[in-house]
Amino acid sequence: MLSFPQPEFYFVLKIDGDLPERTQGNIMKRRILFICTHNSARSQMAEGLLRHLGGNGFEVFSAGTEATAVRPLAIEAMAELGIDIAGQKSKTLDRYVNEPFDDVITVCDTAAEACPIFPGAQRTRHWSFEDPSRATGSEEERLAVYRRVRDEIRARIEKELLTMP
């Protein structure tokens, strides 16, 4: 493996033909992209959770097949865990199609069907979660759905991304 240490990010060229991985110092950063239809709730919560839980081990992004706005109840549900996603923006996935990723993860069924091929992705995964933006009832009842989906996303991240070598 050839590498060129610098105090900022640099690429490592692997002789075995794998895609380059971003590193900082000696830490290999895994690049993860979460995709949902509107990039407004599930993918935004997943981005915030992995960024918080994964620390310096990950570069985390989220996008949607369409861009809208981050939903206030998603922001509130995350704030309950001390994670601020209020500054995150809804983005379309076209900006990421040609970038290298270790994992591209769709977090809703519609996005899984509409998702383009990511030639730079080492793996693609699909995690199906209920759409909390479709919840009905009082604000507290709807927030309860966001909390449940948030906790399901967290459990999946902990099981499948944080326990991998």
% of the chain surpassing 90 pLDDT = 68
36 is catalytic: yes
Whether the predicted pLDDT of 76 surpasses 50? yes
Looking at domain 29-160, its CATH architecture is 3-Layer(aba) Sandwich (3.40)
Q: Where are the beta strands (DSSP E) in 25-137?
A: 27-36, 58-64, 101-106, 121-126
> pLDDT tens-digit profile of 122-157?
999 999 999 999 999 999 999 999 999 999 999 999
pLDDT average, residue stretch 63-70: 93
Catalytic, out of 32, 50, 60, 115: 115
Looking at residue 112, its pLDDT comes to 57
46 is catalytic: no
108 is catalytic: yes
Spans of all domains in the chain: 29-160
Those residues with Cβ within 8 angstroms of residue 139's Cβ, 6 or more apart along the chain or in another chain: 73
Catalytic, out of 32, 77, 105, 108: 108
Catalytic, out of 36, 60, 83, 107: 36
